[in-house]
Amino acid sequence: MTSRTMTLRDRITALLRTRTGEEFCAACIAKMLDVRHKSAHQAALKLEASVAFRRQYGRCSTCGKTRLVATALGPTAAPPD
Ligand SMILES: [Zn+2]
């Protein structure tokens, strides 16, 4: 039940953060989180507003297709002192 308290966006954020630097298309995100493609796509769109994430055309780390992918920028988003 705990995962139900998280929004889909939270779940995508958590997924991308654990796989920093890897790129995922909406289809693969949907598959990994067991949600509809459309839901994953819409949630991924919202990540664009965050500086910690990027969406661009690239090769999906999971399916290998070149399409719009989302990636967590990782440690570079929080520069070291
Ligand atoms: Zn994919």
What structural domains does the chain harbor?
2-74 (1.10.10.10)
In this prediction the pTM is 0.83
Compute the distance from residue 25 Cα to the ligand 1 centre, in Å. 4
Compute the distance from residue 80 Cα to the ligand 1 centre, in Å. 31
Task: Tell me the C-alpha distance between 67 and 69, whole Å.
Answer: 6
Q: How far lies 41's CA from each of 60, 78, 80, in Å?
A: 14, 26, 32
Do the beta carbons of residue 70 and residue 23 sit within 8 Å? Answer: yes
76 — pLDDT class (breaks 50, 70, 90) = low
Tens of pLDDT, residues 37-74:
999 999 999 988 888 999 999 999 999 999 999 999 97
Query: Which tokens hold the place of 24?
Result: 């995922």
Query: Which tokens hold the place of 29?
Result: 């995100």
Query: Which tokens hold the place of 32?
Result: 């990994």
